[in-house]
A and B are shown apart, each in its own frame.
Chain A
Amino acid sequence: NAGVTQTPKFQVLKTGQSMTLQCAQDMNHEYMSWYRQDPGMGLRLIHYSVGAGITDQGEVPNGYNVSRSTTEDFPLRLLSAAPSQTSVYFCASRSAAGAEDNEQFFGPGTRLTVL
């Protein structure tokens, strides 16, 4: 299993540009989440999904959109990038069932800079 994969690893945008951060998992996990991490801080939840077609907002959803058309993929869209969105973005997934729901698996992160 590849686990949770994220692309790209690095991205530089100009203010106002749009882009999509990709996240995919091959573990057939129902739950997927997006976090952002600013320097010296813990991770903050942006959006999450409990299954295909179902998404909900986390702690810091403004400026971001998500969709979940398949179990495997959970892309994060920035419609109009702002410097305040400069951060490291982590995607995560976990199973909803039984003892497996204890562990959340994280991707390697996407480092985004908005100029």
Chain B
Amino acid sequence: DAKTTQPTSMDCAEGRAANLPCNHSTISGNEYVYWYRQIHSQGPQYIIHGLKNNETNEMASLIITEDRKSSTLILPHATLRDTAVYYCIVRVQGGADGLTFGKGTHLIIQP
């Protein structure tokens, strides 16, 4: 699986959009970009994934650059409950083994 690079921490004001970047310059053509988050002391939670097109669901939007070497997770209206560690993971879809987690980005939503 390709390696990802994320900032260690970020702050965002409540009600504003939180934009979390991820670099994955060695991504292969068949690898997807997945985002998970982990709220303190809980198990990780799936947010969204994509291959090359931008994706949106009820939780977030995922913007992948045209060369696929980086992506941005967008939480459109951040709330205090969005304070968590966000993990960007690159892997082939359908693989039987587990996910490779880095240290992620600690997003802190400020009131």
Contact = CB atoms under 8 A, between A and B. Distances in A.
Interface of A: 4, 31, 33, 35, 40-45, 48, 50, 56, 58-59, 90, 92, 96, 101-109
Contacts of B41: 109
B101 A42 contact: yes
For the residues of B in contact with A, the DSSP-based class is loop
Contact of B98 (A58, A101, A108): A58
Contacts of B101: 35, 42-44
Interface residues of B, number: 21
Interface in B43-63: 43-46, 49
B42 interface: yes
Interface stretch (B22-30, B64-72, B74-82, B89-97): B89-97
Nearest to A111: B41
Contacts of A48: 96-98
